[in-house]
Amino acid sequence: MSRSEDETLAQAAVTALTGQLALAPKPGLPDPRDLGARATGRDHCSLRWSAKALAPGLAAMAAAARRTGSPTPELRAELGAIGRSTEHSVALAGGGHRGALWVLGLLVAAAALEPCATGRDLAATGKRIAAHPDRRAPRRPSRGSSVSAQYGAAGARGEARAGFPHVRRALDTLAAARSAGAPEPCARLDALLTVMSTLQDTELLHTAGPHGLRHVQAGARGVLAAGGTAAAAGRAALAALDDDLHARAWSPRGSSGLLAGALFLDSLPVRVSSPALAA
């Protein structure tokens, strides 16, 4: 894999993230309607802009994986250092995307290690990378790790160390919705709701507690049970859930980063095998 391929992987990840941002309506999450950043605290346009600031760091992660050649403790430490530097760059560009950076960084590194692997295999490779501790990480606990410890939630680290089960579920939902003839935006929204329906989102646990988390999970399941977002009843349920979460100022941010990871893996059979990359 060459530098241009590292940059192509990074751009595919950024495209997945901006594709996730473009979906609407996303319950409690920023989307193109949300220029006032009602519950999210960030303007949708600024989030699209800051997403582009991830590209150099993600390309560096791909290059580190290519250079290392296997999911070693050394690679994990280097990815952590690159990730912290990238977080600083993204903060200067407007902020956001910390959870997506964790997901996409591991999956981009996995794709660089195994350029011909399938999405599920890459999730397993990401698991092997995440299994190693980040020896250079700051000793102070993050809010996510504190909430995980308080409530026994898997959190971002647990999701990665389990092989990204919610990314894999989102991929399954994308495939099933497309096979059923759903339009692509509906397939992607259904994938998001699939993640929301079971994820122990530490952001929601922090802001809404266990009761709020269960409320959001039940709402997401309700949309899917009503036929998903391609069905009239599902769209009505989605609109009600969207209004509800915005009114409560609850934002399931963990689900959006995992959807971005799924969209990235979903794009790889086309992007990594394209003639431009093979040249």
* Max mean pLDDT range (72-81, 84-93, 140-149): 72-81
**Residue 25 pLDDT:** 92
The reply to whether 88 falls in a domain is yes
| Average pLDDT for 163-174 | 97
Instruction: Report which of 9, 10, 12, 27 is spatially closest to residue 256, judged by C-alpha positions.
Output: 27
127, 161 contact by CB (below 8 A)? yes
Could you tell me which residue, 52 or 177, shows the higher pLDDT?
A: 177
Q: What distance in Å separates the CA atoms of residue 141 and residue 55, rounded to the nearest whole number?
A: 26
CATH number at residue 110: 1.10.4200
Q: How far is CA 219 from the centre of its chain?
A: 20
Q: Give the structural domain span for 235.
A: 3-139+151-165+172-278
Q: Is the pLDDT of residue 167 over 50?
A: yes
The reply to whether 120 falls in a domain is yes
The reply to whether 65 falls in a domain is yes
* Max mean pLDDT range (87-91, 140-144, 262-266): 262-266
Give the number of other CB atoms < 10 A from CB of residue 149: 11
Q: Is the pLDDT of residue 41 over 60?
A: no
The reply to whether 41 falls in a domain is yes
Q: Using alpha carbons, list the distances in angstroms from residue 40 to 32, 205, 224.
A: 13, 15, 24
Cis link prior to 165 (omega < 30° from 0)?
no
| Domain count along the chain | 1
pLDDT for 186-243, tens place per residue?
999 999 999 999 999 998 999 999 999 999 999 999 999 999 999 999 999 999 999 9
| Average pLDDT for 114-134 | 94
| Average pLDDT for 162-191 | 97
Mean pLDDT rounded to a whole number for the chain? 89
Angle formed at CA 193 by CA 121 and CA 209, multiple of 5 degrees: 105
**Residue 146 pLDDT:** 82
The reply to whether 271 falls in a domain is yes
Query: pTM of this prediction?
Result: 0.90
Match 């990378």 to its residue by tokens. 129
Q: What distance in Å separates the CA atoms of residue 186 and residue 174, rounded to the nearest whole number?
A: 9
Q: What distance in Å separates the CA atoms of residue 144 and residue 254, rounded to the nearest whole number?
A: 10
Q: Where are the beta strands (DSSP E) in 76-183?
A: none
**Residue 252 pLDDT:** 93
The reply to whether 135 falls in a domain is yes
**Residue 147 pLDDT:** 82
Give the number of other CB atoms < 10 A from CB of residue 101: 26
The reply to whether 146 falls in a domain is no
* Max mean pLDDT range (2-11, 23-32, 118-127): 118-127
**Residue 46 pLDDT:** 76
Look at 41-50, 88-97, 169-178, 196-205 and tell me which has the smallest mean pLDDT: 41-50
Q: Where are the beta strands (DSSP E) in 166-215?
A: none
The reply to whether 26 falls in a domain is yes
Q: Is the pLDDT of residue 267 over 70?
A: yes
